[in-house]
RNA sequence: GGAGAGGUGGCCGAGUCAGGUUGAAGGCGCUUCCCUGCUAAGGAAGUAACUGCCGUAAGGUGGUUCGAGGGUUCAAAUCCCUCCCUCUCCGCCA
């Protein structure tokens, strides 16, 4: 959530930021009007309440002095004030709710550093690493949904039988490879990040805090009977880990990582990327996440990007880094770098990590603050996160990139310690 | 799933089954100061968050918050309803 006070203290800033993200000018006008209206009503209501409180206090004193029978007139007065308060309060609540509802659906203000633009085409390619079109032979141009299925390490048909389209079943060395990637993703960040294994089913409030609700309810799995949601990413429970808490400045930055399954309905993308591992309803991911002071946020963003990028680079996969334009940012993000890996079989760049800085947008929703050392009061933290390793797309890119002419698949060296002696997945017999 | 007991400030813990100067006794912790050769002990004061308005500021002045949300009342930590969480016992279970 953006700071509602900004609406009145710096409406131009809010307007510029939101318009660059595709929010209409009239929506912003309405918000500013609602905010002003609500504030006036709140003031009126508080004044009446103050009078009621003062009268009640007087009545209390009369009772205390044993003169309760003299309180009748004051009570009548207070009662009529109370009726007036009720009327104002109703209007104030209506407007307050309307404002809150809209604020919750409003995206974050983009960082001034984020490139301006509205669609994917406006994203800036920061750099491309390790990509050489000419290095690929015929044997690389086989998509994983063919090669891996042929090798028996991926069983898409049975996954569909069991759970439906866009679910996956890894087998044998394929399953081992998926587990190896998870371990690799965790171990390489264990120097600084605390490993967490959070719940993967969460309450509505938890999903609200990170921004998936209320706007994107259709994208998440919901267990109606128990009113629980399946997490789309470990960002969700990790961000709520310190919800409604006040940290000491000396605690910051807090670095957390978690491996979880991630569940996505992909309601808006029916029919797209349905082949193989490109887009799944359930997949494994190692998430890295940090809480930071506003001063630490910039460096932390760079650190998360460096770590996410390092994993891909160490696996020997070609990748590129995109600086997302304002119009392509996720709702909660102020700035995002995407890492896309090149998959030669599918011949596509696959997004494998979104490294985002959320400024205080999520922290305001989740009410996560810190107490500045030596300072007064509390301040909202900044939250940041990125995929340390999103398994299926990396798995796919590895299988395609490391495919040899005989159809076997070489395992990159950094994964050898996790593969129980397997350095090559043998080709078809 | 059944039965019972609870959720109060940074922490512990009164207050609730007589509704009224109770934003909340007392203690611990913390901060500042005093005392002491140092430390310990002792003494004094201060010590919640969010938020509206006024003020350059220090601050002043309203409002809200005693698990959450509703209700009763002139007035709710205290009474009523719903929900959440914790603990104990029983049942079930990896």
Residue A232 (CA) to nucleotide B78 (C1'), in angstroms, measures: 44
CA atoms of A97 and A429, how far apart (whole Å): 65
CA atoms of A223 and A227, how far apart (whole Å): 5
Task: Reply yes or no on whether the pLDDT at A325 is more than 90.
Answer: yes
Tell me the two tokens of residue A6.
């900004």
Residue A241 (CA) to nucleotide B89 (C1'), in angstroms, measures: 32
Q: Are A241 and A256 in contact (CB under 8 A)?
A: yes
- The percent of residues above 70 in pLDDT, for chain A, comes to 99
Residue A53 has a pLDDT of 92
Task: Reply yes or no on whether the pLDDT at A268 is more than 80.
Answer: no
Residue A352 has a pLDDT of 97
Burial of residue A348 (CB within 10 Å: 0-12, 13-18, 19+) is: middle
The whole-chain average pLDDT of chain A stands at 93
Residue A226 has a pLDDT of 85
Residue A248 has a pLDDT of 83
Nucleotide with the nearest C1' to A369 CA? B49
Beta strands in A86-162 (DSSP E): 124-129
List of residues 6+ apart from A14 with CB closer than 8 A: A2, A6, A7, A28, A109
Q: What is the mean pLDDT of residues A238-255?
A: 90
- For the beta sheet containing A319-323, the strands, ordered from the edge strand earlier in sequence to the opposite edge, are A124-129, A319-323, A335-343, A348-357, A382-390, A282-292, A254-263, A194-196
In tens, the pLDDT along A47-58 reads 999 999 999 999
Strand B reaches within 7 A of the A378 CB: yes
Domains of chain A: 4-105 (1.10.287.40), 120-425 (3.30.930.10)
Residue A65 has a pLDDT of 79
Spatial CA neighbour of A356 closest among A375, A337, A340, A378:
A337
Strand B reaches within 7 A of the A57 CB: yes
Residue A168 has a pLDDT of 96
In tens, the pLDDT along A368-409 reads 988 887 777 788 999 999 999 999 999 999 999 999 999 999
List of residues 6+ apart from A249 with CB closer than 8 A: A293, A370, A371, A372, A373
* Secondary structure element (H or E) that encloses residue A222, with its range: strand A222-223
In tens, the pLDDT along A141-198 reads 999 999 999 999 999 999 999 999 999 999 999 999 999 999 999 999 999 999 999 9
Residue A66: pLDDT band by 50, 70, 90 thresholds?
Answer: confident
CA atoms of A197 and A185, how far apart (whole Å): 14
Q: What is the mean pLDDT of residues A242-248?
A: 87
Q: Are A6 and A12 in contact (CB under 8 A)?
A: no
Strand B reaches within 7 A of the A365 CB: no
Residue A415 (CA) to nucleotide B17 (C1'), in angstroms, measures: 67
Nucleotide with the nearest C1' to A367 CA? B50
Residue A232 (CA) to nucleotide B4 (C1'), in angstroms, measures: 39
* ipTM for the predicted complex: 0.87
**DSSP string across A268-333:** GGTTSS-STTSS-SEEEEEEEEEEE-HHHHHHHHHHHHHHHHHHHHHTT--EEEEE--GGGS-TT-
Strand B reaches within 7 A of the A5 CB: yes
Question: Residue holding tokens 């079109």?
Answer: A133
3-state secondary structure of A336: strand
Q: Are A420 and A176 in contact (CB under 8 A)?
A: yes
């Amino acid at each position: 959530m953006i700071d509602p006070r900004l609406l009145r203290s710096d409406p131009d800033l809010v307007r510029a930021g939101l318009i660059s993200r595709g929010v209409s000018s009239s929506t912003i006008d309405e918000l500013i009007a609602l905010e002003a209206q609500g504030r006036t009503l709140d003031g009126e209501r508080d004044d009446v309440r103050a009078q009621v409180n003062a009268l009640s206090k007087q009545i209390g004193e009369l009772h205390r002095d044993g003169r309760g029978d003299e309180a009748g007139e004051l009570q009548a007065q207070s009662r009529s004030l109370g009726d007036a308060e009720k009327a104002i309060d109703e209007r104030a609540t209506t407007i307050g709710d309307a404002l809150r509802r809209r604020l919750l659906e409003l995206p974050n203000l983009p960082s001034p550093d984020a490139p301006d633009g509205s669609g994917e085409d406006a994203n800036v390619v920061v750099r491309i690493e390790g990509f050489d079109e000419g290095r690929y032979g015929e044997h690389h141009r086989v998509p994983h949904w063919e090669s891996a299925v042929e090798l028996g390490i991926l069983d898409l048909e049975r996954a569909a039988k069991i759970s439906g389209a866009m679910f996956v079943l890894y087998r044998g060395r394929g399953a081992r490879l998926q587990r190896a990637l998870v371990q690799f993703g965790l171990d390489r960040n264990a120097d600084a990040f605390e490993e967490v294994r959070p719940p993967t089913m969460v309450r509505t409030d938890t999903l609200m805090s990170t921004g998936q609700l209320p706007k994107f309810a259709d994208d998440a799995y919901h267990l109606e009977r128990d009113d629980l949601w399946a997490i789309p990413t470990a960002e969700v429970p990790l961000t709520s880990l310190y919800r409604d808490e006040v940290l000491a400045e000396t605690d910051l930055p807090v670095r957390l990582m978690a491996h979880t399954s991630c569940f996505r309905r992909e309601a808006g993308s029916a029919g797209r990327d349905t082949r193989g591992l490109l887009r799944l309803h359930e997949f494994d991911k190692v998430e890295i996440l940090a809480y930071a002071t506003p001063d630490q946020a910039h460096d932390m963003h760079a650190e998360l990007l460096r770590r996410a990028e390092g994993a891909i680079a160490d696996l020997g996969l070609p990748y590129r880094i995109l600086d997302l334009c304002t119009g392509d940012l996720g709702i909660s993000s102020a700035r995002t770098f995407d890492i896309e890996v090149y998959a030669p079989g599918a011949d596509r760049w696959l997004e494998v990590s979104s490294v985002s800085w959320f400024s205080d947008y999520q922290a305001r929703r989740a009410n996560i603050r810190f107490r500045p050392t030596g300072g007064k009061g509390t301040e909202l933290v900044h939250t940041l996160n990125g995929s340390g390793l999103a398994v299926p797309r990396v798995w796919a890119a590895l299988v395609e990139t490391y495919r040899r002419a005989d159809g076997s698949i070489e395992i990159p060296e950094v994964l050898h310690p996790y593969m129980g002696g397997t350095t090559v997945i043998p080709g078809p017999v």
